[in-house]
Amino acid sequence: MASVFSLSQFRAVRTNLTTAIALIALPLVASANQKARLTPQFIPGEIFHYQIESHTIDTVKTTTPIADPESGSRTTQALSLVVRLDVLSPAPGSPPGATHFRVTYEKCRAQAESDAFDPTGSSFEDQYNHIEGQSFDFTLDPSGGITDLKGLDKIFPNRSTAEPAYSWIDSLFPGSHFPRDGVSVGQKWKAEHPVSGMPLDDLVWLSDSTYLRDESCNTSADSAAAAPAAAATQRVAAPPACATILMHYKMSRRGSPHSEATPPSYLKNGLRTSGAWTGSGDSLDSISLATGMLVSSTANSTQDVDYQITSARSGSSIHRKGRVQSQLIITLIPDSH
The residue extents of the domains of the chain are 7-27+36-69+77-229+240-333
pTM of the model: 0.78
Is the pLDDT confidence value at 3 over 50?
no
Fold of 7-27+36-69+77-229+240-333: Lipovitellin-phosvitin complex; beta-sheet shell regions (2.30.230)
Q: Which of 54-68, 206-220, 229-243, 289-303 has the highest mean pLDDT?
A: 289-303
pLDDT digits (tens, 9 = 90+) for 14-41: 433 333 333 333 334 434 357 888 888 7
Is the pLDDT confidence value at 268 over 50?
yes
Is the pLDDT confidence value at 258 over 50?
yes
φ and ψ of 269, to 5 deg: -100, 15
Beta carbons of 123 and 74 less than 8 angstroms apart:
no
Which positions ≥6 away from 54 have C-beta within 8 Å?
1, 7, 77, 78, 79, 164, 168, 326, 327, 328, 329
Question: Which pLDDT band holds residue 59 (cuts at 50, 70, 90)?
Answer: very high
Is the pLDDT confidence value at 221 over 50?
no
Is the pLDDT confidence value at 222 over 60?
no
Q: CA–CA separation, 124 vs 231, rounded Å?
A: 40
Predicted local confidence at residue 118, as pLDDT: 53
Q: CA–CA separation, 235 vs 222, rounded Å?
A: 9
pLDDT digits (tens, 9 = 90+) for 117-161: 555 445 778 778 789 999 999 998 887 778 888 998 888 877 666
The greatest distance separating any two alpha carbons of the chain, rounded to the nearest whole angstrom, comes to 67
Is the pLDDT confidence value at 212 over 90?
yes
| 241: nearest Cα among 198, 293, 284, 197 | 293
Predicted local confidence at residue 149, as pLDDT: 86
pLDDT digits (tens, 9 = 90+) for 86-98: 999 987 888 888 8
Three-state SS at 291: coil
Task: Give the alpha-carbon dihedral of 114, 124, 84, 328, to 10 degrees.
Answer: -30
Sign of CA dihedral 181, 182, 188, 194: positive
Is the pLDDT confidence value at 78 over 70?
yes
Beta carbons of 116 and 138 less than 8 angstroms apart:
no
Q: CA–CA separation, 13 vs 323, rounded Å?
A: 19
Predicted local confidence at residue 10, as pLDDT: 42
Predicted local confidence at residue 134, as pLDDT: 94
| 49: nearest Cα among 107, 91, 88, 98 | 107
Which positions ≥6 away from 126 have C-beta within 8 Å?
none
Predicted local confidence at residue 41, as pLDDT: 79
Question: Which pLDDT band holds residue 67 (cuts at 50, 70, 90)?
Answer: low
pLDDT digits (tens, 9 = 90+) for 184-207: 999 999 988 778 778 888 888 899
Q: Within 13 Å, how many C-alpha atoms sit on residue 119's CB side? A: 1
Higher-confidence residue of 52 and 118: namely 52
**End-to-end distance of the chain based on CA atoms, in angstroms?**
30
Beta carbons of 240 and 332 less than 8 angstroms apart:
no
C-alpha 252, offset from chain centre: 18
Amino acid letter for position 13? V
Average pLDDT over residues 268-284: 92
Query: Which residues are paired to 189 by β-bridges?
Result: 209
